Structures are given as structure tokens and as C-alpha cells.
Chain A
């Protein structure tokens, strides 16, 4: 869906609207999606909630998540590194009598490389989570403890002229509270 061309304007405020339930918040998002709030698009929205709504992607559109790539890369690295680590350790046994057994034992190494694949897969997934979810960073933007309780928050950065129409849209859909902070 192509909408009106977006003007580049300086965002001066960050606004958080708190709603009593998902439906009210989704109505606001629907209005923004249908360009009823000038200058703001659905990509500008950050939704904050106590749980993840099952249809969140239908409402906000599909957004990027690289976690499976991290998991795959970690698992692959773990398996290859695990096998090579064991093989290089076993190569030290060249100086020792092997009793006719192979120096690098594939069956047992596969068992251990499998364990390494899983542990590195898990660690890489965790890394992807911390990076993707922007955790362990200085908290940025508005937040209210009601979000972890039972309210749904919509956070949007707006310019001075966009602020009032957005506030009106929030009010139309029974916003409980509007918090704002200056970005300048």
C-alpha cells in the first residue's frame, strides 16, 4: 500500500499513550495505518505491552528478526569448531600408542560435536536476542510501570505540528494517559 510521500520533519517530542486494552491501541494503529494522523506512519510506532499479542504482526506488519540466523550460525560454528577442537586434541595422541584404533575417532567426535553445536547454538541465540531486542543498553524513551501491569502503550516520535492530531487520535480511542518528553 503506497501512501502519501513522507515529509522529512524534525521530531521534537516523544509521546506515550497508555490504553486499557489491545483493541483501543489497535484502533489507534489502524487510524495511523489509514493516514488519519498526518506525518505519522505505522513504522514510527513502538507498541509496549505486558504480553505479546498473538496477532501483533497483522497489526504492525512484519518486522525484522534475525534470531534464527544467529541460531543457525552458532550451531554450525559449534559443530565445526567442536569437531576440529577434538581432532586437534587427538592429534596430540600421535606420540602415544593407539592400539590400532584411529587417531581421530569419528563416532565419538560426532557425539561431542553435537553437544558443542547445541551449546554454541544457544549462546548465539542469546547474543542475537540481546542485540536484536536492544537489551543491556541505557533505557531510552518513555516508559510507565503500568505497562508491566495491565496497560498497552504506544510510543511515537513526533514533530510539533504532528503532536496535536496524534493526541486527538489517542483521545478518540479512550487513552488513559498521555506522557510526553522533549527530544531536544
Chain B
């Protein structure tokens, strides 16, 4: 009976506060050496997908953009949709690292590192698409703000150049945020590895020795960058929304687009966190750190964001409907009943109806179910981006440009390959660097144990009328 009771108590905790600090180090360091076979299968699969992308790019390079089936009205079809999708995915790291850090939600600690890595690699994936879409990939630097040899600067009034600024700033900041947050863990790796790993970690840990001055500066730095990163993340996706909203195309010229895009970004990011949570927990045997109660919280957070996204979606439809702008209304009707309607309704079902399954406790506590739900949530979010771009391009103001277009194999190969590229970078990262923050999990365990002991002492005093025992040393690790 006591065993059953013990198990019930364990399952309600975000983490077992009795885990020794040394064990945290050992478990995380072991994960970097010895993952399950599934890890290698996933890495091989990602590399194959990336190979398909390279093949498609070589093909497009040789035979031109026509083979991607891009044409006059559909000048940036799946490429821009996928770009927006990956930018959106990147917001999860900011949410988990920065926003939840500021509100002291300590359950984020075992999972924020991989979410931050996801941010970085999502941005690196998104950044491929403007370059791919150029066709002439060697001219990629045209997107940057530089003065050409004719003395001409880019048009600073264009949201496309705002994109270049915002994404560069976001990528730089999120890489630094990820790196700075890893420094104490890199020092742990330095102290416990040999060979090339030791050389790498020694270089990257910058001489970290855990001094009080280092910790104090570290705390302020992390806080300051978190404060800067939140408005940056909001501005990035607002600017991506302005790529559309500042055009006069029907269906795009909508004032709610920036908040709608930000909500969609957080939503798809959360769904991706769920997917990667399940995979990493399995690959690296992280059952003790990536626990069911933490997943439960991620699911609830995803549900709330899904509802915000749904609300903003409906608001957008309502403002178009009551706005009486005929072309915009026609685009809205075409989305619902035109050639792309199956994808539109797919978006609605996966994006707005499917999240209700997260209200079911049995779903939230079943990793297999969560894996599939999270995949379909992101299918819904991909369809959302596609349905923003393509129906408008197929039904603009000019009847001569009306043109239903279906992406060809080159575009689909690029889309699939982007998942391969992201998966490859992400899986390589989690093998080389600790994907669970060791020092933050130690902090979490330490604080929770202190709170638990303090509560127990207080309860003893209350019930017996006698003071509880002197607080024990709270160190969970140590000899």
C-alpha cells in the first residue's frame, strides 16, 4: 500500500526533489554519450530528408523557378508559407525561456534548453527560404542593408527589409541567450569529459568556475537578455505579419495580423515543444526530468494559446465579413468553399478543434497520444500559413491573375527537406550539448526541497503545538 501511495505522490510532482545533484550530472552527461537507437534512426531520417532538399535545390538551380511551379501571381507560394511557419516555431524558446523565467515558473527548467535550441535552429531553417526563393542563391546578400555600387540603399520603408533587421537581431540574440544560459553547464561538461569534447567545452565555458561574482553577473545578464528578447520576439513576428498586412492584397490587409501571427507562432512553438519533449524523453531516457506533470502544464499552456489563436482567427473572419470589402470577402468565401477549402477546414479542425483533446487528462498523460496530437496541431499551423498565402494570390484584384496553383514536387521537397535540416541540426546539438540544464535542475530540486521541508515543519508546529525540528541542511547533493 505504501508503494502505491508513493507512486501516486511521485506522479504529481514536476520533479523528485530527492534526486542528488551528482546524479543529475551523471544522467545528463550520459545522455550525450549514449542515446537510444531511435536517436540514430531519427538523425539518419533527417539527413535523408535534407538530402532530398539539396537535390531539389540543385534541380531548381539548373532548371529555374518554373520547375517549382511558381508563376506570375504565385510568386512566393510554399516558400513564404514555410518561412513563416519556421519563424513561428522559433517563438517557443522565447516563451519558455524568457517569459516563464520572468514569471518564475520553475517547471520550465528541465525543458527550456531544448526549446531555446529549437528557436535558434528554426530561425536558421527559416532563413533558408528567402535565399531559396531568390532563385539566384549567390545574391543572398541582397536582403541585407548595404549600399550597392550604384550608391543605392535598400528601401527602408519596405517590411521586407524590416524582416532582415528583425530576424538578424533575433537570431543573434537567441543564439547568445542559448549560449550564455549554457555556460555553467559547459563548465560541468569541461570538468567531466576528455578528448575533443574537453577541448571544445574548455573553449566555450570561457573559464567559468562558479564564483559568486560570476553567478551574480550571470543572473543579471540572463534577466536583461530575457527582458530584451520578449519584445524582440513579438516585433519579429509582427514584422513578418506586416509583410502581408502592409500589402493591399485582399485577405492580407488586416489590422489584426500582427497579434494573430504572434499567437500562431507561440501556438506552433508549443506544439513543437510537445513533439520534441516526447522524442527527447525517449531518446535520452529523461523520464525523471521530463516528467508527466511538466508535460501536463505544457499541454494546458498550448490549449490556452490555441484558444487565443482561434479567437483571433474568428475576429479576422468577422472583420472581413462585416467590413464589406468585396474582394476580401470573396477571398474568405473562396477559402471556405473554393479549391483550397479542404486545407482551410483542415486548418480549422487541427488548429481549433483538436486542441480540445488536451482537456482530457488521459490524453495529457499519454506520451503516445500527445506525440500524435502535437504533430497534427503543427500540421494545422502549417496549413494556416499556406491558407494565408495561396488563396489570396489565387484571387487578387485583377481577374487576369486569377489562378489556382498547386505546388510541385520541388516546392514540397524543399518543405520536407527543411524538416530534415532542422531535425539534423537539432539532433546534432542535443548530442553535443546538454539538452537538460543541469544547474537549473539542481536549483529547482534545491528550492523545492527547501519549500517541502519548510511546509512540513510548519505543519508539525500547527498540529502538535510544539516547534518542529531544526531545519536540516537542505543540500540535495554533496557527500
Is B151 among interface residues, defined by CB-CB distance under 8 A?
yes
- Provide the residues of chain B in CB contact with A147, threshold 8 Å: 209-210
In the assembly, what is the distance between CA of A68 and CA of B223, in Å?
10
- Would A56 and B215 be within 8 Å (CB), given that A51-B439, A111-B239 are in contact? yes
Q: Verify A86–B224 contact, CB threshold 8 A.
A: no
Chain B: minimal CB distance from A52 (Å): 4
Q: Is the CB of B225 within 8 A of A125?
A: yes
* A139–B212 CB distance below 8 A: no
> For the complex, is A65 an interface residue (Cβ under 8 Å from B)?
yes
Interface of A is mostly: helix
In this complex, which of A112, A147, A176 has the most chain B Cβ atoms within 10 angstroms of its Cβ? A112
Stretch at the interface among A2-10, A30-38, A41-49: A41-49
A90 at the interface (CB under 8 A from B): yes
Q: How far is the CA of A114 from the CA of B139 in the complex (A)?
A: 27
Asked if B478 and A21 sit within 8 Å, CB to CB, the answer is yes
* Contact A118 to B239, CB < 8 A, known contacts A22-B475, A133-B217: no
Q: How far is the CA of A122 from the CA of B231 in the complex (A)?
A: 12
Given contacts A48-B209, A92-B147, A130-B206, contact A115 B235 (CB under 8 A): yes
Query: Chain A residues near B456 (CB, 8 Å)?
Result: none
What's the Cα separation between A65 and B188 when bound, in Å? 24
**Count of residues in B whose CB is under 8 Å from the partner chain:** 64
Contact with A along B172-211 (1 / 0, CB 8 A): 1100110010011001100110000000000000111111
Q: Select from chain A the residue with minimum beta-carbon distance to B223.
A: A67
**B152 CB, nearest partner CB in chain A, Å:** 8
Docked CA distance A22–B397 (Å): 70
A14 CB → nearest B CB, Å:
13
Residues of A within 8 A of B215 (CB): 49, 51-52, 56
Cα(A71)–Cα(B221), bound, Å: 9
- Tell which of A49, A63, A67 touches B224, judged by Cβ atoms closer than 8 Å: A67
CA distance A136 to B141 in the complex (A): 32
- A151 near B220 with CB under 8 A, answer no
Pick from B147, B235, B475: contact of A20, CB under 8 Å: B475
Chain A, residue nearest B20 (CB): A150
A53 to B183, CA, bound (A): 17
User: From DSSP, what is the main secondary structure of chain B's interface residues?
Assistant: helix
Q: Does residue B473 face the partner (Cβ distance < 8 Å to A)?
A: yes
Taking beta carbons and an 8 Å cutoff, which residues of B are in contact with A? 20-22, 25, 145, 147, 151-153, 156-157, 161-162, 165-166, 168-169, 172-173, 176-177, 180, 183-184, 187-188, 191-192, 206-221, 224-225, 228-229, 231-232, 235, 239, 439, 442-443, 446-447, 473-479
Given A49-B210, A136-B207, 14 other A-B residues pairs in contact with their CB atoms under 8 A: A21-B473, A21-B475, A22-B475, A50-B439, A51-B443, A52-B212, A52-B216, A67-B221, A89-B147, A115-B232, A122-B177, A123-B172, A125-B221, A129-B220
Listed A/B pairs (20) with beta-carbon separation below 8 Å: A21-B473, A46-B211, A47-B212, A50-B210, A56-B215, A65-B220, A105-B156, A115-B165, A115-B232, A122-B176, A122-B177, A125-B221, A129-B218, A132-B213, A135-B207, A148-B188, A149-B22, A149-B188, A151-B478, A153-B210
For the complex of A and B, 8 pairs with smallest distance between CB atoms = A150-B477, A21-B475, A67-B220, A20-B478, A52-B215, A150-B21, A145-B191, A135-B206
Residues of A within 8 A of B (CB): 20-24, 46-52, 54, 56, 60, 63, 65, 67-68, 71, 75, 86, 89-90, 92-93, 95-96, 101, 105, 108-109, 111-112, 114-116, 118-119, 121-123, 125-126, 128-130, 132-139, 141, 143, 145, 147-151, 153, 176
